[in-house]
Structure 1
Amino acid sequence: MGYGVKIIFSGLAVAQLLSLLHVRLSNIRYYEKLMAIRDAGYLAIPASGAMERLSAFGSAFWGGLFFTLSVGLCLTFIGMGAAWIWDRILKRDRRFIVSALVFWLGLVLLLNSGGFSILATSYVLVIPPLVFGLSARRMPQSQDRNAAKKGLAHIVCFILLAGLGSGHLTASGFSLIRDHLLLTHPVGIHLNNLYYTHTLYAAQVFKSPAQDPMRTCRISVSDADLSGRLRRVMLSCRYLVTDRSDVADLEIAGDRQALVFKSHGREILTVSHTELMRKPGKTLKAFSQQCDRYGGFRQFTFLSLLLVSGLCIYLILWLPFRLIFSMMPNRTAASFFPIAACLIAGSVGIFVLQARKPPVFSPAALKAALSSGAADQRVEALKYAVRNREDIGRFGVQDRMAHSPHMPERYWLVRALAFSHAPSTYETVLTLLDDPQINVAYTAFDVLARRGERQAVGEILKRIERSEHWYVQLYACSALRRLGWKQSASR
């Protein structure tokens, strides 16, 4: 396995170089756009220190690491797997190369399904061929006649477990892992904080115009009345109007009969003034879809996350059994028993997880649990309150919980406060806006918006200027919009 570790690190090293360049260029472009937005008098997100980190090398490195450990690792596994199949199962039959090339070209087409992107394509063009070549060249001769059968057994076991657990490895499943696993342990909290601190720098790489909260527009029409109308419409659709063509995501030119929508000089669509005014949202959605070059890359990144996460879980499950059964004198049994045990244990674990029912509290029991001296019991009570939309404000426990040293308690408290109508809880939510834990702080902004607390607009604006976390600022900006606040160049 020594050769395998070296090849994995080789694939990851190349992936990190590519992703570092990818995120670095994206950061520089986004920083220039944010500076133009700020200079025009708008509120730019990220602001303050989070904006300045866009120009720092470290943000590109850590943001690139997200692509390295998802796309890069997935492509490395694909390259190694293809080499293993070619060597161990097909005995280096050259006809396999044709099938591998077709699959490889299929990946290239998937990543460019919305338009060609050289940087996104470079991952597929470079990593799989490199890893396949290194693996095929350095793969040692196998002395185990059951090597192919063991490999196939692993593949079958992984596919069966992935099928059973597919309902959990989804976007909502990742949130459940965060809420019920990562945020319950100091190591998990640290990993969670790394994710929320650095991944937005990576995510900005492949956002479409519709997904970018700081989307910009330049209006290039000679009719002053039409220009004013377009400006009002674009601001109402959350496009920030700028005079700089180099930072504009959308440029509108033409006249009332034919308004041309351009993206960085490329014509995307043409609509009449009447059609745009009647359905601006529909027109802008069509524009975003047609100039989105990264749809395929986003899909592949998510699929890579699922595959890599599944493989990591499988290895964590299989390794203890491998160590236990390695002491068996029968080498064949020592090879296949860990796989069978892994399948049984994984299946049982999935069924137990699916059958597990959360605790239920009566009103009296809920009040007692929220006042309990045991932090774990208070957290379970808060989770129940969130699931059942219980108003915990009537119990008067929120102020004490907001200062709890137990982070999961503060996190579930702020989520529960979304369903409280007690006026006294408003100050508690404001306190939690300044919580040092990212998840608590950004959830508090979301709670203010869900409760419709319009009087909090001033407090939110002050927190945006003070916060150093892009994720927190993003939720704060979203809360402002949901509370009716609008961007203007004269703010």
Structure 2
Amino acid sequence: MKFYFYPVAVFLAGIASAQALFSVFVYFSDVSLYHTLTAIKAAGFVVVPNAQVLPSLLKWRPAFCGGVFFALTTGAGLTVATFLVVSIWRRFSRRSFGLWLVFAAAAGFLAIRFHYHLPMILACGLTIAAAGAATFKFFPDLPDSDGRNHPLFSLFIAHLAVIGIILAIWVPRFNGDAFVSIRDYLLLSNPIGEKINAFYYRYTLYPAEAFKSLDQKLLKSCIIKVADKNLYDRIKTTLIERDYLPVQENFAADVIINEENNALIFQRHGKKIDQLGIEDFLKAPDTVLEKISEKTDPAGFLRKITFLSLIGVSPLISYIFLHSLIMSGLFFIRSWKPRFAAAGLLCVLVFTGPAFLFGNPLDKTASDSDLNQSLASARWRDRVAALKIIEDQELPLHRFSGIEAMAQSSVTPERYWAARVLGDSRASKSYELILRLLDDPQPNVACMALYSLGKQKNARAVPDILRRMNSSDHWYVQWYAYKALKRLGWTQKK
């Protein structure tokens, strides 16, 4: 029976190692961001996060919580990949020399893909090493048997069968709205889920900043070394409009721009990245800055690993852990095969139950009468389903009743979608409702209200947004506020 819990032991070791390693990775990223934002603030610009949140970048707690995100995504993905490679190798060979060559090749591959960015290489490389060591340590010492008769092969096939059933039920219901539906129906509909959701949105930007490319960052620092004042002002205005904010020359800025022989030389981390004519830059600054960001982005491959792990490996790990927990609870069943089957059946019920909550019961071509009937329903899920159709089809709100009441509902998803549909209306009443939702205690609702204000393109909202951005203690809300300001045409002023 011990061979059954072998994967769980390896996964725990790998994820625990990733948690420790990526917490350090996020911490040093946070410290770097703190110094950048402090320099930008000293230069007279508005910064996000604001003064209430900025000091948290120097603390270990947010870094540790941010490490949880990487541990359960990137760490889990690297652990599962390592587990499979080592297990297959160990099954057919007891010699480790060839496997060391595979790991050496993997280390070289990561170094190249990460542009020799040492913190990323160490975090990922040491996670792989820890998972590999755990796989060797916990690999069950079973009598040799061939092919399908080997217990690990039987275990693998049994897990695949259960996973196949779960996927068969989930895949037809999975669409672009799936993650939003998970949040609405699984997280925001119960106290435990709300705490998980609050944790995610409170700490998600700490790890996110650690692997953003330059153009994905909200604020960037720059130094402009141009002698001609008129030209300096033109370049400065162009950069500020794109949130590249000039700082003191004694700071190690994200981008340094030097003028030389009627050309601009762009440097990053002390290296020359690009050189082009002054007018060429001023004619197409977005293209130039995107090119610089692309050339200096070491985290593109890490973002791919993280995304693939999030949608594929994290659910797999959750299934393995739950299955093992249930197996432990069914200790009174002596034989592992019926115990496995019973645990598998319970896992199918747990993992596929939520799938039946997904999908909109209303057709996208639903009539106004059907939508109004759903809006008046006693079930909040029906009301939210109607709001989703209205938002998706951008239907005029004056044709529907009950939106104002839904904006004041005690149900969080209902307020969230009410805030979202209000962004398509230009009526003064809609504007007033959105302003009221800006102070909603639930961050997701406040963020969507800010998004809708930006969507309305009403410049009179700028003072209200600035006030909320400067007073909020929630980084995610501030981030949405800044994005809304930019959509309204607001620009930083020194």
Q: Is 1:391 aligned to 2:396, yes or no? A: yes
Distance 1:377 1:4, change over 3 A: closer
Give, as a single letter, the amino acid of the residue that structure 1 aligns with 2:198: N
- TM-score normalised by the chain length of structure 1: 0.86
Give, as a single letter, the amino acid of the residue that structure 1 aligns with 2:140: P
Partner of 2:258: 253
- TM-score normalised by the chain length of structure 2: 0.86
Partner of 1:263: 268
Counterpart of 1:41 in 2: which secondary structure? coil
The aligned runs of 1:325-336 (5 Å cut-off) are none
Equivalent-residue separation in structure 2 for 1:348 and 1:73 (angstroms): 22
Equivalent-residue separation in structure 1 for 2:107 and 2:346 (angstroms): 31
Instruction: Tell me by how many angstroms 1:159 deviates.
Output: 7.7
Match of 1:54 among 52, 57, 61: 57
Partner of 2:452: 447
Partner of 1:94: 95
Counterpart of 2:409 in 1: which secondary structure? coil
Q: Is 1:375 aligned to 2:380, yes or no? A: yes
Partner of 2:486: 481
Residue deviations 1:17-50 (CA, integer Å, cap 9, x gap): 2112111111111111111111211110111322
Instruction: Tell me by how many angstroms 1:214 deviates.
Output: 0.5
Distance 1:166 1:106, change over 3 A: farther
The aligned runs of 1:228-307 (5 Å cut-off) are 228-307=233-312
Match of 2:72 among 66, 69, 74: 69
Equivalent-residue separation in structure 2 for 1:277 and 1:382 (angstroms): 44
Give, as a single letter, the amino acid of the residue that structure 1 aligns with 2:89: W
Equivalent-residue separation in structure 2 for 1:350 and 1:104 (angstroms): 42
Instruction: Tell me by how many angstroms 1:379 deviates.
Output: 2.6
Equivalent-residue separation in structure 2 for 1:216 and 1:170 (angstroms): 38
Instruction: Tell me by how many angstroms 1:412 deviates.
Output: 1.5
Distance 1:189 1:104, change over 3 A: farther
Give, as a single letter, the amino acid of the residue that structure 1 aligns with 2:492: Q
Give, as a single letter, the amino acid of the residue that structure 2 aligns with 1:151: L
Equivalent-residue separation in structure 2 for 1:117 and 1:463 (angstroms): 37
Tell me the C-alpha RMSD between the 2 structures.
3.5
Counterpart of 2:44 in 1: which secondary structure? coil
Partner of 2:155: 151
Partner of 1:124: 124
Instruction: Tell me by how many angstroms 1:291 deviates.
Output: 0.9
The aligned runs of 1:402-413 (5 Å cut-off) are 402-413=407-418
Counterpart of 2:223 in 1: which secondary structure? strand
Distance 1:472 1:368, change over 3 A: same
Residue deviations 1:281-333 (CA, integer Å, cap 9, x gap): 11111111111111111111212222323304644886799699998887656
Counterpart of 2:428 in 1: which secondary structure? coil
Equivalent-residue separation in structure 2 for 1:274 and 1:70 (angstroms): 44
Q: Is 1:215 aligned to 2:216, yes or no? A: no
- Runs of 5+ in structure 1 lacking a partner? none
Distance 1:127 1:169, change over 3 A: farther
Equivalent-residue separation in structure 1 for 2:322 and 2:24 (angstroms): 35
Equivalent-residue separation in structure 2 for 1:372 and 1:57 (angstroms): 47
Counterpart of 1:419 in 2: which secondary structure? coil
Question: Does the aligned pair in 1 maintain the 2:368–2:400 contact within 8 Å?
Answer: no
Instruction: Tell me by how many angstroms 1:3 deviates.
Output: 5.8
Counterpart of 1:292 in 2: which secondary structure? coil
Give, as a single letter, the amino acid of the residue that structure 1 aligns with 2:63: A
Q: Is 1:136 aligned to 2:136, yes or no? A: yes
Distance 1:389 1:326, change over 3 A: farther
Q: Is 1:465 aligned to 2:465, yes or no? A: no
Instruction: Tell me by how many angstroms 1:464 deviates.
Output: 0.4
Equivalent-residue separation in structure 2 for 1:247 and 1:380 (angstroms): 50
The aligned runs of 1:71-86 (5 Å cut-off) are 71-86=74-89
Instruction: Tell me by how many angstroms 1:394 deviates.
Output: 5.0
- Runs of 5+ in structure 2 lacking a partner? none
More displaced 10-residue stretch of structure 1: 134-143 or 98-107: 98-107
Question: Does the aligned pair in 1 maintain the 2:17–2:130 contact within 8 Å?
Answer: no
Question: Does the aligned pair in 1 maintain the 2:360–2:385 contact within 8 Å?
Answer: no
Identity of aligned residues (%): 31
Partner of 2:24: 21
Question: Does the aligned pair in 1 maintain the 2:419–2:437 contact within 8 Å?
Answer: yes
Equivalent-residue separation in structure 1 for 2:74 and 2:400 (angstroms): 48
